């Protein structure tokens, strides 16, 4: 004999409970375990908590129907086998029962043990098929979910690769643009000093013949100045290129600040125009500072040379420095041509030059390099400017510590 088949009967008529139990006992060769409930919700609760093989459901369950019960149960356990018990054998009920998910329906009062056994056996076979289908569906869903995750991961990796390629292409585009702008800028900026060098060299030959040492010296200085100008242009470009490649690292060293600044001022004073004067004011008790001397020199020289270049003759340039225990403060103030308000947002952009300095020699790299140096040192730079009245640049740089 096979293992007992567990059956739940949902019927609000207690007499039907007794009749069903009696009919089941008359079926030979198979044992059945019958449990009966009389209420719709009680039947739902029971089926949720206990695994039954078959559910027998009366067509009429108070205000609700067995069809509604079957539809409800099928949403919870799709594989459960339900047999509808009805007092009428209309074709319409048969179709509604099949549509709701019933595996069979029996007419109450006329059910023989053989009919009930046959209906239960066929229903169980259908239930087995439903369970197998449900299992296959779950396995398929799991495989689909896994495949979906793999595809999502692949898509993310492709998007990452796409972003990396786009970034590389953008960097290459920027590099090509940088090279193109440098060639354009260099061909323009080198033309003037090269012409000066050529004409001064020719004049030196003539003045040497006339033994005019004063004019020879003047033109020698012009050559030196022109060479220095070209060297500055190349240094700006090389500094920018190294920073773009990440090849420049901070190298803080102890600096005797006053001596350091005086040497810078000696270099810069040779650039001043007629009647221009650089006034340096220093405050603070600290004399030695731990900073990168090359970075600091580039920042100060760029700011001062800009102030000289874009200021008028016979004007004063104020250069102030203040040292605290934590930071160095630098301020450069001129009374020059100023910066147009519409150009202010682009001031630190590479190769950018304000529209009122087109006829003044320059590369458009100086302030971009200054900003990059200050960023690398963890500092800040701010500025104020008014057209035809001048500009003020303020820099704050935190002092390095010994454990860097």
* Integer Cα distance of 243 and 369 in angstroms: 9
Q: Is 0.85 surpassed by the pTM of this model?
A: no
Question: Which of the listed ranges 171-180, 268-277, 343-352, 376-385 does the model predict with the highest average pLDDT?
Answer: 376-385
| Whether residue 170 is found in the same domain as residue 69 | no
Domain boundary among 111, 133, 152: 111
| Whether residue 282 is found in the same domain as residue 231 | no
Among candidate residues 254, 267, 275, the one with its CA nearest the CA of residue 302: 267
What pLDDT is recorded for position 261?
A: 94
Cα angle 211, 214, 216; round to 5: 70
Asked if residue 155 belongs to a domain, the reply is: no
| Whether residue 277 is found in the same domain as residue 326 | yes
Select the more confidently predicted residue: 38 or 353: 38
pLDDT more than 70, % of the chain = 85
Task: Sort 385 into a burial class: Cβ within 10 Å, 0-12 / 13-18 / 19+.
Answer: buried
| Whether residue 298 is found in the same domain as residue 347 | yes
DSSP for 365-401 reads -HHHHHHHHHHHTT-EEEEEEETTTEEEEEEEEEPP-
E strands of 249-326, at which residues?
253-256, 277-283, 288-291, 316-323
* Integer Cα distance of 229 and 206 in angstroms: 25
What pLDDT is recorded for position 336?
A: 92
Asked if residue 55 belongs to a domain, the reply is: yes
Q: Are 311 and 390 in contact (CB under 8 A)?
A: yes
CATH code of the domain containing 354: 3.30.565.10
CA 141 to chain centroid: 33
What pLDDT is recorded for position 186?
A: 61
Report pLDDT digits (tens) over 203-236: 777 777 777 777 777 777 777 766 766 776 676 6
Among candidate residues 376, 393, 395, 379, the one with its CA nearest the CA of residue 239: 376
What pLDDT is recorded for position 363?
A: 73
DSSP character at residue 2: P
Q: Within 89-212, where are the H helices?
A: 91-100, 113-210
DSSP, collapsed to helix, strand or coil, labels residue 326 as: coil
| Whether residue 388 is found in the same domain as residue 286 | yes
CATH code of the domain containing 24: 3.40.50.2300
How many CB atoms neighbour CB 49 within 10 A? Answer: 7
**Which domain covers residue 194, as residue numbers?**
166-245
| Whether residue 325 is found in the same domain as residue 357 | yes
Count: domains in the chain:
3
Domain boundary among 111, 137, 157: 111
What pLDDT is recorded for position 382?
A: 96
Q: Are 81 and 36 in contact (CB under 8 A)?
A: no
Asked if residue 136 belongs to a domain, the reply is: no
Domain boundary among 96, 111, 126: 111
């Amino acid at each position: 004999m096979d293992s007992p088949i567990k059956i739940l009967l949902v019927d609000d008529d207690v007499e039907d409970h007794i009749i069903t139990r009696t009919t089941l006992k008359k079926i030979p060769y198979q044992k059945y375990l019958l449990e009966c409930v009389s209420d719709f919700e009680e039947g739902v609760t029971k089926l949720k908590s206990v695994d039954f093989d078959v559910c027998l459901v009366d067509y009429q369950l108070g205000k609700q129907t067995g069809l509604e019960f079957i539809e409800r149960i099928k949403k919870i356990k799709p594989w459960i086998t339900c047999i509808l018990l009805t007092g009428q054998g209309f074709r319409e009920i048969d179709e509604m029962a099949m549509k709701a998910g019933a595996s069979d329906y029996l007419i109450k009062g006329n059910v023989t043990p053989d009919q009930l056994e046959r209906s239960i056996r066929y229903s169980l076979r259908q239930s087995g098929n439903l369970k197998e289908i449900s299992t296959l569906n779950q396995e398929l869903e799991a495989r689909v979910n896994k495949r979906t995750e793999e595809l999502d991961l692949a898509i993310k990796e492709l998007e990452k690769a796409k972003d990396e390629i786009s970034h590389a292409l953008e960097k290459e585009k920027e590099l090509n643009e940088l090279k193109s702008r440098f060639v354009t800028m260099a061909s323009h900026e080198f033309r003037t000093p090269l012409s000066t060098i050529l004409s001064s060299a020719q004049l030196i030959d003539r003045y040497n013949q006339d033994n005019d040492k004063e004019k020879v010296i003047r033109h020698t200085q012009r050559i030196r100045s022109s060479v220095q100008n070209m060297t500055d242009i190349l240094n700006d470009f090389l500094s920018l290129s190294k920073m773009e490649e990440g090849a420049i690292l901070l190298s803080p060293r102890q600096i005797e600040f006053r001596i350091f600044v005086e040497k810078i001022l000696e270099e810069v004073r040779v650039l001043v125009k007629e009647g221009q004067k650089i006034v340096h004011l220093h405050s603070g008790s600290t004399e030695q500072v731990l900073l990168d001397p090359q970075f600091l020199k580039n920042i100060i020289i760029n700011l001062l040379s800009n102030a000289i270049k874009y200021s008028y003759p016979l004007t004063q340039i104020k250069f102030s420095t203040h040292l605290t225990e934590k930071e160095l403060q630098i301020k450069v103030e001129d009374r020059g041509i100023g910066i147009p308000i519409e150009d202010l947002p682009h001031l630190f952009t590479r190769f950018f030059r304000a529209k009122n300095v087109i006829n003044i020699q320059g590369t458009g790299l100086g302030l971009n390099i200054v900003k990059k140096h200050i960023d690398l040192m963890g500092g800040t730079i701010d500025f104020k400017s008014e057209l035809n009245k001048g500009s003020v640049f303020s820099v704050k740089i935190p002092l390095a510590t010994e454990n860097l």
